[in-house]
Amino acid sequence: MGQAHLHEILESLIDQHRSAYTEGEVASYIPELKKGNPALAGIAVWGPDGLVAAGDTQVPFTLQSISKIITLMVVLEQRGEAEVFSRVGPEPTGDPFNSILKLEISERRPLNPMINAGAIAVCSLLIGNTVEERFAHVTSLLAEILGREVFIDEQVYQSEKATGHRNRALAYFLKDTGVLEGDVEEVVDLYFRQCSILVTCEELARIGFFLATKGVALTGKRLLPPSIVRLVTTFMVTCGMYNASGEFAIKAGIPAKSGVAGGILAAVPGQFGIGTFGPALDSKGNSVVGFRILCDLSRRLDLSIF
Ligand code: GLN
């Protein structure tokens, strides 16, 4: 398909689905996120022929939970699968992303690295002597993928740091059960920093393309072994859309990871990286507009991997 035809399709998806934002709400539990404009909507697709985009694809927003896949890739490379999976499991939960429920009633490890408890456990495995040094491993991988320096949104970071009591509770629980080692406050600080990394919708597509090509940057440089990317994209299918992952697998069938600032990063293996943006969220914390656009795009272009 030509780029012009794809562009037409993306424009029509934005026209058709933008108004669905009225069915969702901007996240408010992190006070700074309340400032997001719910009416924004964008989709960007990176393929072998480059970028095609429609709508609000250059507005910066924070990665939030999408950052979980970046840190997971770093930690898998630093520590290896065996050590990572001694701390976090491979199973979907069916619970909301910030749930504490299963930590006590199932096995001690968080069930997977895409829920907050699991992502916090993954953060605790980052190697380094200081928070700055450990965080730098996350930003430098992302900087190589994006071809630019990486920054955080200081306001969002401070806002979550001041109010993220549930995440602190998860972390202290994990400290108690021996899953999390080291200083709890430092680990949650790392987690809040990674959630506050700024990206645009176009850049999400670029990260998606990195996953779609199994770990090769646009420069042609291999940044990670394909086995790590395969593992992470598998988690995106089973847990990337929180407790709507099953519905999304049926309707779109594309590995994807969403974040509460309204981004969704998707990767069609061997073909495309896709980014969507729309800050109004449904009750499960996924962008209403992004969810619909991806399902519709998948149907129109027959992108389901199943
Ligand atoms: N920073 C957010 C939190 O921990 C990320 C959650 C998300 O995007 N689902 O609550």
Tell me which H or E stretch contains 11: helix 3-17
- Sequence-ordered alpha helix ranges (H) in 116-164: 116-123, 131-146, 154-163
Select from 77, 1, 51 the least CA-distant residue to 209. Answer: 51
pLDDT for 198 equals: 98
Q: What percent of the chain has pLDDT over 70?
A: 100
Q: What is the rounded CA–CA span in Å between residue 166 and residue 143? A: 30
User: Ligand 1 centroid vs 27 CA: distance in angstroms?
Assistant: 10
Is the Cβ atom of 64 under 6 angstroms away from ligand 1?
A: yes
pLDDT of residue 105: 76
Q: How far apart are the C-alpha atoms of 126 and 146, rounded to whole Å?
A: 21
Q: Go through the domains of the chain in sequence order and give each one's CATH number.
A: 3-64+199-301 (3.40.710.10), 65-195 (3.40.710.10)
Q: What tens digit of pLDDT does each residue of 130-176 get?
A: 999 999 999 999 999 999 999 999 999 999 999 999 999 999 999 99
Per-residue confidence (pLDDT) for residue 106, from 0 to 100: 74
Which residues belong to the active site?
Answer: 65, 68, 191, 242, 260
160 ligand 1 Cβ < 6 A: yes
Ligand 1, pocket-test mutation among 112, 195, 236, most atoms within 8 A of CB: 195
Q: Which residues, other chains included, contact 120 with Cβ-Cβ below 8 Å and sequence gap of 6+? A: 110, 167, 170, 171, 174, 180, 187, 188, 191
Q: 268 with 32: CB under 8 angstroms? A: no
Residue 104, SS3?
helix
Q: What pLDDT shows up at residue 96? A: 81
**Neighbour-count burial for 253-290, b at 16+ CB within 10 Å, e otherwise:** bbbbbbbbbbbbbbbbeebbbbbbbbbbbbebbbbbbb
Rounded to two decimals, the pTM is 0.97
> Which is the closest atom of ligand 1 to the Cα of 98?
10
Q: Which residues of the chain have pLDDT under 70?
A: none
